Amino acid sequence: MQSHKLICVLVIVLLVSFFPARVSAQTETPATENGPRTYRSPNFVVHSDVKPEEAKELLQRLETMLGLISTYWGQRNRKPIECFVVEDLKTWPQGVLPPDAIDKIRGQAGVTIAQGLTNGRQFNINAKVYAVSDAGVPQHEAVHAYCAQTFGTTGPVWYSEGMAEMGMYWKKGDSSVNANPIVIDYLKKSEPKSLNEIVNGQETTGDSWQNYAWRWALCHLLANNTNYQKRFRPLGLALLQNKGTSFEQVYGSMADEIIFEYLLFLENMQTGYRVDICSWNWKARPRLLKGVRPNKVDVEAKAGWQPTKAQLAEGEEYEFTTEGTWTILENGDEINADGNELGAGKLVGILFDDYKLSEEFEIGAYGKFTAPADGHLFLRCKDEWGTIADNDGEIEFQIRAADPNAKPLPMPGQ
Ligand SMILES: [Zn+2]
């Protein structure tokens, strides 16, 4: 079953005292006709029974992923990671794979077995990866192996598994959501798991693909959202280096904001969704609209909800106008805030009040509307959440409390 592929088990054996480095015996597997062969690249030694072309592709994927994660954590990989990647267990000679690994591989999963010595400050760990050949299992496990060999630990379960899932999906220069569609679908349809449950729940590694999905969602959000990413890397490094910190210490003061953005992420998540450009603007302070001079703001097409600094009151009428055009496809037609015939590209609004959002409502290029609730007005260009990254342009928006005695606001283009 596809879903089983997301489960892995990490076993770490850490002893309390430190001994001189132990030379690791590298397992050289015999190259039988259909059996495993050994392949090498700068950071990996892979034993696998997949076809040679597939093995080379796998090494390339692993090297790319390792380059990304070692840059992210700022620590180079210390020694090659040995991986056993299995397509067909029957072709493997007996005794090469430990029984724990055979169990996981039979369950379409993987395991990283890290063994070595540590006294808490110094360590000498060798991590071996055992994984089925499909999906991203070898990459996921290789993240654990890198962490174990580089830091002597992989951190708490939520971080370790969340980051390993991210490592599996990481692409250079692309921070969009590209998780398994089953994972995205599950997260969107489920009752959201609380952050406390994800971070502090009595959960263990290898528990269920559903738990992995929540850990990935939290790590992906914190690693990419511009409000939280600056604190996330140092938090991760401190967790990996056992520096006595916690999620609560680092993010406790921002709990309301993180919960709000976490729920919004789950609601709007799609393949292609960009957490960075949908980060909430917490700095903009709204004020009540007074007088005939309108409140003016630019709304970008390539972004999520954007603040207007206009505080609206339920049942009150407002008048607005816009100026400019934007595009919602690469090299697409210029359209104004009324959008196209299908309603895409239309200017839409939402009201934020005490960490709660109203329903989204349509605004358009010119006219009046009655506020459906109290709150700070946020705007965006209506588009599928997964495809706003190819949008371009901005529209100027003006709003004021409706006043029948005042000169009307200028129409677009006037
Ligand atoms: Zn794992």
Q: Examine the pLDDT at 26 and tell me if it is beyond 50.
A: no
End position of a domain, from candidates 227, 261, 280: 280
Are the beta carbons of 132 and 109 closer than 8 angstroms? yes
Beta strand spans in 239-316 (E)? 287-288, 295-300, 306-312
Identify the residue with better confidence: 332 or 11. Answer: 332
End position of a domain, from candidates 214, 246, 280: 280
Question: For residue 396, is it within any domain?
Answer: yes
Residues 291 and 276 in one domain: no
Residue-level pLDDT at 134 = 83
Q: Examine the pLDDT at 36 and tell me if it is beyond 60.
A: yes
Secondary structure (3-state) at 3: helix
Q: C-alpha distances in angstroms, 316 versus 268, 288, 296, 354?
A: 29, 12, 19, 19
Distance 141 CA to ligand 1 centre (A): 6
Residues 178 and 248 in one domain: yes
> Averaged over 94-118, what is the pLDDT?
91
Residue-level pLDDT at 7 = 60
29-38, 42-51, 153-162, 254-263: segment of lowest average pLDDT = 29-38
Distance 219 CA to ligand 1 centre (A): 14
Q: Examine the pLDDT at 50 and tell me if it is beyond 50.
A: yes
Query: How far, in whole angstroms, is CA 158 from its chain's centroid?
Result: 13
pLDDT mean across residues, the chain: 90
**Angle between the N-to-C axes of helices 209-224 and 255-268, in degrees from 0 to 180, rounded to the nearest 10:** 120
CA distance 330 to 278: 19
Question: For residue 414, is it within any domain?
Answer: no
**Structure-token pair, residue 202:** 């009595």
**Structure-token pair, residue 247:** 């999620």
Quickly state the pLDDT bin for 20 (edges 50, 70, 90): very low
Question: For residue 411, is it within any domain?
Answer: no
Residues 6 and 129 in one domain: yes
Q: Examine the pLDDT at 192 and tell me if it is beyond 60.
A: yes
End position of a domain, from candidates 154, 183, 200: 154
18-32, 86-100, 207-221, 357-371: segment of lowest average pLDDT = 18-32
Distance 275 CA to ligand 1 centre (A): 23
Residues 230 and 297 in one domain: no
Quickly state the pLDDT bin for 141 (edges 50, 70, 90): very high
Question: For residue 409, is it within any domain?
Answer: no
| CA nearest to 305, candidates 271, 281, 331 | 281
Distance 223 CA to ligand 1 centre (A): 18
Break the chain down into helix, strand, coil percent, rounded to 5. 35, 25, 40
| CA nearest to 170, candidates 254, 249, 67 | 67
Residues 225 and 77 in one domain: no
> Averaged over 150-173, what is the pLDDT?
90
Are the beta carbons of 32 and 93 closer than 8 angstroms? yes
Residues 248 and 208 in one domain: yes
Beta strand pairing call for 8-15 and 110-118: parallel
Q: Examine the pLDDT at 56 and tell me if it is beyond 70.
A: yes
CA distance 387 to 335: 16
Distance 221 CA to ligand 1 centre (A): 19
Distance 252 CA to ligand 1 centre (A): 26
Distance 365 CA to ligand 1 centre (A): 50
Residue-level pLDDT at 148 = 93
CA distance 131 to 139: 9
Q: Residue 229: which domain range? A: 161-280
Q: Examine the pLDDT at 414 and tell me if it is beyond 80.
A: no
CA distance 267 to 264: 5
CA distance 131 to 196: 31
Residues near ion ligand 1 (Cβ under 5 Å): 8, 161, 164
Question: For residue 212, is it within any domain?
Answer: yes
Distance 336 CA to ligand 1 centre (A): 47
Residue-level pLDDT at 12 = 64
Of how many residues is the chain composed?
Answer: 414
Distance 127 CA to ligand 1 centre (A): 13
> Averaged over 178-182, what is the pLDDT?
93
Quickly state the pLDDT bin for 118 (edges 50, 70, 90): confident
Number of domains in the chain: 3
CA angle 130, 135, 137 (to 5 degrees): 30
Distance 292 CA to ligand 1 centre (A): 59
> Averaged over 266-277, what is the pLDDT?
97
Distance 258 CA to ligand 1 centre (A): 25
pLDDT (tens digit per residue) in 200-251 = 887 777 778 899 999 999 999 999 999 999 999 999 999 998 888 899 999 9
Question: For residue 146, is it within any domain?
Answer: yes
Residues 256 and 298 in one domain: no
Distance 217 CA to ligand 1 centre (A): 15
CA distance 352 to 376: 5
Distance 104 CA to ligand 1 centre (A): 12
Question: For residue 205, is it within any domain?
Answer: yes
Distance 212 CA to ligand 1 centre (A): 8
58-62, 132-136, 218-222: segment of lowest average pLDDT = 132-136
Q: Examine the pLDDT at 330 and tell me if it is beyond 60.
A: yes
Residues 213 and 265 in one domain: yes
Are the beta carbons of 289 and 310 closer than 8 angstroms? yes
Distance 255 CA to ligand 1 centre (A): 27
Distance 333 CA to ligand 1 centre (A): 45
20-34, 69-83, 144-158, 216-230: segment of lowest average pLDDT = 20-34
Q: C-alpha distances in angstroms, 80 versus 77, 149, 161, 249?
A: 7, 10, 21, 35
173-182, 205-214, 261-270, 288-297: segment of lowest average pLDDT = 205-214
Q: Examine the pLDDT at 31 and tell me if it is beyond 90.
A: no
Residue-level pLDDT at 104 = 92
> Averaged over 347-360, what is the pLDDT?
98
Are the beta carbons of 295 and 289 closer than 8 angstroms? yes
pLDDT (tens digit per residue) in 359-408 = 999 999 999 999 999 999 999 999 999 999 999 999 999 999 999 999 99
Residues 21 and 132 in one domain: yes
Residues 21 and 146 in one domain: yes
Distance 145 CA to ligand 1 centre (A): 10
CA-CA-CA-CA torsion for 156, 160, 166, 172, nearest 10 degrees? 110
Residue-level pLDDT at 22 = 34
> Averaged over 11-38, what is the pLDDT?
53
pLDDT (tens digit per residue) in 298-318 = 999 999 999 999 999 999 999
Residue-level pLDDT at 16 = 43
> Averaged over 175-191, what is the pLDDT?
95
Quickly state the pLDDT bin for 33 (edges 50, 70, 90): low
Question: For residue 40, is it within any domain?
Answer: yes
Identify the residue with better confidence: 29 or 404. Answer: 404
Residue-level pLDDT at 348 = 98
> Averaged over 31-54, what is the pLDDT?
90
Distance 34 CA to ligand 1 centre (A): 29
Residues 1 and 150 in one domain: yes
